[in-house]
Amino acid sequence: MTSNSFDDGARLAEQVAAATGAGTGDRLLHARGAWATGEFTPSSGAPALSRAAVFAAPATPAVARFSSTLGGADGHDGSPGDHGLAVRLGDLDLVMFTLPVFFVRNGPDMVEFLRAANSADPATAVPAFAARHPEAAAALELAGQARPAAAFTGLAYHSVHAFGLADAAGTVTWARLGWRPHRPTGPLTEEEALSRPPGYLAQGLAAELPARLDLVAHLPAPGDEVHDPTRPWSSDREVPLGTLTLTGTRPPAAEPDFDPLHLPDGVAAPLDRLAADRSRVYAAARRRRG
């Protein structure tokens, strides 16, 4: 890491903190969450797509953190917003959330979006942001349709970035990765969700276990914008890569410092700028909260 990228990450983290008003010691986003542990078992076809050890080993221990993106540590899980799932499988971190595309293409634009969303008058500021950033249209529309979730393990999660799955011969297949729940849960009404305790998703996790989610590689169709995380793809072709089985909720003795660029041989980094900016800001946010 160069000193420039270090400074850049720290500056972005300070700007995110100022925009969200996160409390000291809390994550700057996704502050509310719950840990789960279990293991990942690859599907039989996964090694043909990627030579990564996680797809060759019979099973890899998994540490996962489900989270609610907005509202800080004191927010309500039933408030509108998306949810996150960060999973560490050996040398592979998968840090995903519930929208299939993202609002922006880089860190500074994310800060601008967070300032608008957290302003005193978001009803004016977010449309003004959208007018300046037409690339945010797809994610904003989907976010506007989001309904309160019933259960963390019943949701689908998306990487938004395309990762390069490299096979033993070096052939690279670009794919968005995703988790697909074995037991999908429908949304709650806002009234029902807000009548539950503020941390109902985190508190309900233990009762959902054991729970399984499949890891899939979502492949683009010709003409899809492979390396633009703001653009939906027209293809719905998904190849199974394996299954995550979560069985426990004990927090890890040492929390993984999740990094979307913590990748093994056999999984190449996204080519978009968003992933690089995220990696720097997560490292700085982690240092900041101690």
Among 19, 29, 205, 241, indicate the residue that binds ligand HEM (CB under 6 A): 29
Among 86, 92, 136, 201, indicate the residue that binds ligand HEM (CB under 6 A): 86
Which stretch, 71-79, 137-145, 204-212, 272-280, contacts ligand HEM (CB under 6 A)?
A: 272-280
Q: Which of 65, 68, 96, 62 is nearest to 243 (CA)?
A: 62
Residues in 141-200 that interact with ligand HEM by CB under 6 A: 159-160
Sole residue written with tokens 């989610």: 213
16 binds ligand HEM (CB under 6 A): yes
User: What's the gap between Cα 290 and its chain centre?
Assistant: 22
258 binds ligand HEM (CB under 6 A): yes
40 binds ligand HEM (CB under 6 A): no
65 binds ligand HEM (CB under 6 A): yes
The minimum distance between CB 284 and ligand HEM, in angstroms, equals: 8
Among 11, 182, 227, 286, indicate the residue that binds ligand HEM (CB under 6 A): 286
The minimum distance between CB 20 and ligand HEM, in angstroms, equals: 8
Question: 3-state secondary structure string, the chain?
Answer: CCHHHHHHHHHHHHHHHHHHCCCCCCCCCCCEEEEEEEEEEECCCHHHHCCCHHHHCCCEEEEEEEEECCCCCCCCCCCCCCEEEEEEECCEEEEEECCCCCCCCCHHHHHHHHHHHCCCCHHHHHHHHHHHCHHHHHHHHHHHHCCCCCCHHHCCEEEEEEEEEECCCCCEEEEEEEEEECCCCCCCCHHHHHCCCCCHHHHHHHHHCCEEEEEEEECCCCCCCCCCCCCCCCCCCEEEEEEEEEEECCCCCCCCCCCCCCCCCCEECCCCHHHHHHHHHHHHHHHHHC
15 binds ligand HEM (CB under 6 A): no
The minimum distance between CB 56 and ligand HEM, in angstroms, equals: 26
Which stretch, 29-37, 53-61, 127-135, 169-177, contacts ligand HEM (CB under 6 A)?
A: 29-37
Which stretch, 39-47, 117-125, 203-211, 275-283, contacts ligand HEM (CB under 6 A)?
A: 275-283
Among 9, 42, 81, 107, indicate the residue that binds ligand HEM (CB under 6 A): 107
Which stretch, 44-52, 133-141, 200-208, 282-290, contacts ligand HEM (CB under 6 A)?
A: 282-290
Partners of 37 in the β-ladder: 63, 248
Amino acid identity of residue 39, one-letter, is E
11 binds ligand HEM (CB under 6 A): no
Which stretch, 12-20, 40-48, 132-140, 204-212, contacts ligand HEM (CB under 6 A)?
A: 12-20
Cβ contacts of residue 273 below 8 Å, gap of 6+? Answer: 105, 106
139 binds ligand HEM (CB under 6 A): no
Summarize as ranges the residues that interact with ligand HEM (CB under 6 A).
12-13, 16, 27-30, 33, 65, 67, 84, 86, 95-97, 102, 107, 110, 159-160, 258, 274, 277-278, 281-282, 285-286, 289
